[in-house]
Structure 1
Amino acid sequence: MLPMESTTNIAPGQNDCETSETNFVWSWWPSWRPTSMSLLKTVESKILACIQNDLWARFVTLPNHDRIWTLTITNKTARKPPDEAAKTPLVMVHGFGGGVGLWIRNLDALSRSRPVYAFDLLGFGRSSRPHFPSDPNKAEEQFVNSIEQWRESVGLENMILLGHSLGGYLATSYAIQYPSRVSHLILVDPWGFPERLPPQTEESSSKEVLKRPGPPRWVKGVASVLSHFNPLAVIRAAGPWGPGLVNRFRLDIKRRYEDLFDDDTVTQYIYHCNAQSPSGEVGFRAMSEGLGWAKRPMLHRVHLLSPKMPLTILYGAQSWVSSSSGEEVVRIRNQDSTEVKLIEDAAHHVYADQPHSFNEAVENICNTVD
């Protein structure tokens, strides 16, 4: 079924192709970058056309007039829709550089027994792209506040909250602040949990430690220069070569969806999601340091989660994200309320690498709620 798009509750003066970002370094290069919100909408529509269940796609407007692009998927074959409505909804939060389209292999399966909501984080995808502060606390708070305002606007009393990567970090922060709204927290290869280790910790415990040679001076210089830019700046700087760059270097993503699309649909989607003026990317950079470590590691705060809140952490067995953080979370909390599961033959994008195993695991978790 083709997505039904609603433009209700849109702030005056806004339209679907408009981005709300201003004063960004790249905003004066629109003709250099072959992208627009309209092109993003077109390629996303092609992806969402794969959904078989009932889909309602619309903007949800927050009190400050920021807009969150939102999908609601329900089972059209359900004999008793009121029963389905009574089930606790599953809310899915994507990771850095992603958007709702990347859940395409999961939405139908997970909406068989309960409503599923997926939205583009503020500053990503088709959602508004406002200014984010450089302070990590304030940037995180802006993300979390937008999620709570979204929940209020949609009218959800509580939810099963699932977050992947950056989405897992933000979902945890949200669950700490709004415990009564989260029936079960599901983290998928969450980013930002461990503390950044100093170089000395890589040495062995032996008394005789051989110093490893550091990287060449030119590598340090390049790294220093790149540290002053947003993580995906190269996509925008590449201009007309940007789509080809994404298609070349994200073949891994393309392969994950090749049974659905035999062309560049998915890499085009990723390009248009990230070639817009950076906003959420600025917020992410404010919260991170080095090669993607969090300035405020979540392991320092996970004890603040309600002891009664069930938490399940899913890791790809071949992911670059170590499951050791999940094991530490179990130690900090307790085994009764926290569980860590590995999805075999899956890397960081667990939901796309092994969609059947992922969907089955998430559905089983949801069934423990109601």
Structure 2
Amino acid sequence: MSRRTLTLMVAAMLTLMLGVAGAMLPVPYVVLSPGPTEDTIGKVKGKPVIAIEGRQTYPTQGKLSLVTVAYQGGPGTRIDLLTALRGWIDPSIAVVPEETIFPKSSTAEQVEEQNIQDMTNSQDDATAAALTELKIPYTSVVAVMSAEKGKPADGKLKPGDEIVSVDGTPAKDVEKVAERVRSRKAGEQVSISVTRDGKPLTVPLTTVKGVDGKPMVGIVMQAKFKFPFKVSINVGDVGGPSAGLMFSLGIMDKLTPGAMTGGKFIAGTGTITPEGHVGPIGGIQQKMVGARKTGATVFLTPAGNCDEALKAVPQGMRLVKIETLHSAVQALDTLRAGGGALPACTAN
């Protein structure tokens, strides 16, 4: 063997070894792929996804499925370059920068906790939206979730406190309470009246300047609803707020006679507000693929996701554009009747 041939062989082997080693190097990306679907009017591990107590419910049929995205990678469990390359080739998978899912200021545990909290909030909002659409009365209060350590409310306001008023102004919603606090100057006193364990309590606090320069007292609040009956939602390990729309439809389907789907397999996604407004979500393309693989032929698509969804519509999938819970109900009515025009996603 000549020296030149040997040199080329060694060089080729070194190149191959470097290529293999490089392919195994961790990279700061996350792979998003189609996740499992769950039928909101069905069961998970033998238990109803939606259980209602204290109100008459009705049998139904068909499917109203929420859809999910599975992710691989993240801080401490980064994917390698080869995995990322495979994801870039596969049209049903998305490869996104790590900070898209895990902000640099957050740990993986914090992101998981936030996803769980978002899921809990979306279930409450979904119940509120369903009851609003059905014109079933309920009440809501502004509740303290937590008090920031070292801030004026620390040790004075507690999780679960229900805020009744701020300086005598009724606490109608979270934003109104925040606006009232921000109307003060930093260093001024604000009087917050709460109900704690059923007893009234007034707490004076001195505002401080927040990181945005606006006055604050250091509390995290949320709307806490009081419904006339109990709605429990069980989805296992699924997190995030994107199943709100499908939860609302599932609740409505169980509370009304007949099947909203007309026996069809309907899937969809979208956040929901208590007023019934549907918002866009992430991973729409992967969610559509997951829905189609499990048999869905109609996909309720948030209007804000239509442009992205149109780029990768699975064969045999019909996209229906949804802006509100009411429009989703109307679309299902039209589908059930077997005719009529439906709001469709169109390219802008």
Structure with higher Rg: it is 2
Larger RCO (CA under 8 A, 6+ residues apart)? 2
TM over 0.5: no
- Tell me which protein shows more helix as a share of its residues: 1
How would you bin the TM-score normalised by the shorter chain?
Answer: under 0.3
- Tell me which protein shows more strand as a share of its residues: 2
